Amino acid sequence: MKITFLLAITCVATTVSIVASAQEQSPDKAERVQTWWVNKTAGGIYKPPMRPLWKLSDLKQMHTGQNTWQEQIILDPEQDATYNSGAPGTKYTARMHPDSPTVFVVIAGQLHFDVEGQEPATATRGAIVNIMKFTVFSYEATGDQNALWIEVNPTNYKTVYPSDGPQPTPSKDGAIVKVSFNHQPAPYTPPNRFLFNTFADAIEGCKGGVVVLDDHIFASPLLGYVNPADNKCGKGSENIGGGPARPGDPPFDPHSIFGHLHAGPAEWWIVQVGQISGKFENTGEFHAVEGDVLYATPMTWHQMAAEAPSGPSVRLAMGAAYVDFQTVCPEVEIGLGIPRPTIRLVESAQGLRLIQPSTGADLSDSMRRFSAGFLESLKEVDGFVLTHKSPSCGISDAKYYSGAEKGPALGKTSGFFAELVLRRFPHLAVEDDGRLLNLRIREHFLTRIFAFAKLRALRRSASMRALVQFHAAHKFILLAYSERKMRQLGKIAANPGKESPRKIVDAYAAAFHEALGNVPKTATQINVLMHALGYFSKQLSSREKKHFLETLNFYRAGQVPLLGVSNILWSWALRFETAYLLEQAYFRPFPEDLLAMEDSGKGRPSGGKSQSL
């Protein structure tokens, strides 16, 4: 699953490969330092069909005289998007994408959908229709005008058609054949929903945020108000970005450093209403209106802005990014340069102090003020990656001394910034860049931030039905961490006291964060794997069972990773179409692309022995 999460990366060492944001200068911080990713290559390189701006007016002109047409606008390594027009009465027969979701964004007109497991629905301007994988669906352009919509799929998606319907036309290099398999529609888990309308739900209903979080597809309507008084939800300007140009602003230089960039998947936007500008590295500044599409290639500095002088300007952010990084270096933020003289933690009668030996400066109060203010400003965050051994950001391995002068360390403790992180966010995933080199710790960290992000979306909805679905999907993960806490969470979700949904969801969230606090032990993981094996006990041959048990013993001895065993079970779940297992987050707790098998062997929580985990 490729989704965007909020992750604060603090005190990042230059050896950590992350996306860095160049911070613009502001009057109150003219010396703010820009951060760079040293492997940055030239941005603004577009390969057809991608372009910085697809204008709806141009597309209509390209297809003059046609009521029904399709134009490929995006085909990159992650996503396949087409712009479509359909005359009223145009029907699209039943079909299914067995391995991937599909998203429709309606620009104008009406599309009527019949989707397996859902009530028939008509999508109008502003609608975002999310079709889960393994779901049969059909649709038709209705109403009295041509329907306009953008269809988004993961690249290399496949479509199958029911054999009792019309036979589709083969591609020029293919042939239509019949295949046999059963299917079960994938469930909608928060924040995913079948139908969302930006005008009704976000602008009028004040329910924003991510609306699609699925495999290789992410969608989130970003509302911006140049005049915050126009915002009926009382949330100010919201996502105004850079805002409209101001008198006296220097001319835009596309060859400068501005905004931010993404190293991995591209980011793009569908303008749903109002006016949006996009500035792109080496390319220029583009102005878009409703129905237009803006696209930023990977590695491209870019900056978006709401421009409509009144009313909302909404850009539907699309993409396949995993994590939204927010980078900060507390030491730079309190005025220290790059490079900078050593600072160290020094024991005193007043407690630990942060001292710069070369100048004798006591930076303790400055660091505490900045740290408290920065952490207070974070609206939503799922985890932190801190720099190990740092006097500001070390989680537990920052050395402290008896004095500012050189000498042996008295011990190890938390850095000033890290101490406040742990105190303010005791329930979140917090790790350092050194320990994340360890495979099991890294898997534990990734499992937590992706589960926590889903839980964060669940808390916004406060839906009991969604809570029950979330708990069911995470049962195996919880069993791996603690069977006792899994049962405790089950009782909370059952709500025997008939408490309000908000109270139950909040109580569940607190207990869930606590349940995922420590790295699962090998013994509990084996318990989960054996439990899953029971689902196939009557379908496997004796040789298959023997192979699995031998691989399990290799895992017990620390000779193969957990994935080497769980993937065997996953393949059987697919083979036998075991719906319950296919819905378990345990087998795919985070995007597979993030699973690097490198293992330092260091940072293990208990003496470095894998058996102790």
Q: Which residues of 250-277 are buried (b: 16+ CB within 10 A; e: fewer)?
A: eeeebeebbbbbbbbbbbbbbbbbbbbb
pLDDT tens, 298-336?
889 999 999 999 999 999 999 865 666 666 789 888 988
Angle at 326 between CA 321 and CA 328, to 5 degrees: 150
pLDDT tens digits, one per residue of 42-61: 889 999 999 999 999 999 99
pLDDT computed for residue 475 by the predictor: 96
What pLDDT is recorded for position 39? Answer: 64
Total number of residues shown for the chain: 613
* C-alpha–C-alpha distance, residues 370 and 106, integer Å: 45
Identity at 234, one-letter amino acid code: G
Cα distance from N-terminal residue to C-terminal residue, the chain:
26
Nearest to 429 by CA among 413, 449, 409, 447: 449
Give the C-alpha separation, 227 to 549, whole Å.
64
Token digits for 59? 């597309």
What confidence score (pLDDT) does residue 508 get? 96
Q: Report the pLDDT value the prediction gives residue 248, as an integer from 0 to 100.
A: 82
pLDDT in tens, 94-123: 999 988 899 999 999 999 999 999 999 999
Query: Do 239 and 321 reside in the same domain of the chain?
Result: yes
> Which CA distances in Å does 94 have to 160, 176, 436?
9, 16, 46
> Where does a domain end: 408, 433, 458?
433
The phi and psi torsions of 389 (rounded to 5 degrees) equal 70, 0
Judged against a pLDDT cut of 70, whether residue 15 lies above it is answered with no
At which of 433, 456, 471 does a domain end? 433
Q: pLDDT tens for residues 22-31?
A: 222 233 333 3
Is residue 606 exposed (0-12), middle (13-18) or buried (19+ Cβ within 10 Å)?
A: exposed
Asked if 283 and 302 sit in the same domain, the reply is: yes
Helices (H), 213-327: none
CA gap 103, 60 in Å, rounded: 22
Tokens of 17: 């490969």
Q: Looking at the structure, do residues 157 and 235 belong to the same domain, yes or no? A: yes
> Are 385 and 507 in the same domain?
no
Cα–Cα distances in angstroms (integers) from residue 176 to residues 94, 157, 158, 169, 179, in the given order: 16, 16, 13, 7, 10
65 pLDDT above the threshold of 80: yes
Q: Give the span between the Cα atoms of 210 and 221, in whole angstroms.
A: 7
pLDDT at 595: 61
10 within a domain of the structure (yes/no): no
Q: For the purposes of burial, counting CB atoms within 10 Å of the CB of 406, is it exposed (0-12), middle (13-18) or buried (19 or more)?
A: exposed
Q: pTM of the entire structure?
A: 0.59
Mean pLDDT of 248-277: 88
More confident residue, 242 or 234: 234
Residues 320 and 342 placed together within one structural domain of the fold:
no
pLDDT of residue 55: 98
CA–CA distances in Å: residue 492 to residues 132, 415, 452, 461:
28, 37, 17, 17
CA distances from 430 to 319, 395, 433, 444, 451 (A): 26, 8, 10, 11, 14
Evaluate whether 391 touches 344 at the Cβ level (below 8 Å): yes
In a domain, 4, yes or no: no
Q: Which residue has the tokens 């042939």?
A: 175
Question: Are residues 71 and 83 in contact, defined by beta-carbon separation less than 8 angstroms?
Answer: yes
Task: Give percent of the chain with pLDDT exceeding 70.
Answer: 87
**SS3 category, 151:** strand
In the numeric block, which tokens belong to residue 513? Answer: 């964060």
- Of the listed ranges 96-110, 230-244, 466-480, 564-578, the one predicted with least confidence: 230-244
pLDDT, residue 424, reads 93
In a domain, 7, yes or no: no
Cα(552)–Cα(548) distance, integer angstroms: 6
pLDDT of residue 607: 34
Does 247 score more than 80 pLDDT?
yes
Coil, strand or helix at 552: helix
Task: Please tell me whether residues 423 and 456 are part of one structural domain.
Answer: no
> For residue 85, what are the domain limits?
32-168+183-327
**pLDDT, average across residues 221-225:** 92
Residue 207: pLDDT band (50, 70, 90) is confident
357 and 380 both lie in a single domain? yes
For 82-93, give one letter per residue: b (16+ CB within 10 A) or e: bbbbbeeebeee
Q: What is the CATH number of the domain that holds 136?
A: 2.60.120.10
Indicate whether 608 pLDDT > 50.
no
Q: Which of 111-115, 213-217, 545-549 has the lowest mean pLDDT?
A: 213-217
| 413 and 455 part of one domain | no
Could you tell me if 235 and 301 lie in one domain? yes
Q: Are residues 56 and 142 in the same domain?
A: yes
pLDDT exceeds cutoff 60 at 8? no
Rounded-to-integer distance, Cα 612 and Cα 609, Å: 6
pLDDT value at 276 more than 50: yes
pLDDT band with cut points at 50, 70 and 90 for residue 600: low
Please tell me the predicted confidence (pLDDT) of residue 3: 36
Phi then psi for residue 373, to 5 deg, are -65, -40
Computed over every residue of the chain, the mean pLDDT equals 86
Helices (H), 322-379: 330-333, 364-377
Task: Name the nearest CA neighbour of 590 among 398, 485, 445.
Answer: 445
Token representation of residue 194: 């079948």
In-domain check, residue 27: no
Q: Enumerate the β-bridge partners of residue 356.
A: 361
Which pairing describes strands 217-225 and 212-214: parallel, antiparallel, or unpaired?
antiparallel
What mean pLDDT comes out for the span 278-299?
Answer: 96
**Does residue 482 lie in a domain region?**
yes
Examine the pLDDT at 167 and tell me if it is beyond 70: yes
Q: How many of the other CB atoms lie within 10 Å of CB of 402?
A: 12
Q: CB within 8 A of 125, min separation 6: which ones?
A: 106, 107, 108, 109, 199
Q: Please identify, among 433, 457, 473, the residue that sits at the C-terminal boundary of a domain.
A: 433
Task: For residues 425 and 300, state if they share a domain.
Answer: no
Which one has a higher pLDDT value, 605 or 93? 93
Residue 5 domain-assigned? no
At 138, phi and psi to the nearest 5? Answer: -140, 160
Q: Residue 175 falls within a domain, yes or no? A: no
337: pLDDT confidence band, cut at 50, 70 and 90?
confident
**Does residue 127 register a pLDDT over 90?**
yes
Total number of domains in the chain: 3
Average pLDDT over residues 440-466: 88
State whether 463 and 592 are in the same domain.
yes
pLDDT band at 442 (very low <50, low <70, confident <90, very high): confident
pLDDT tens for 358-397 read 999 999 999 999 999 999 988 778 899 888 899 999 999 9
Residue 8, in any domain of the structure: no
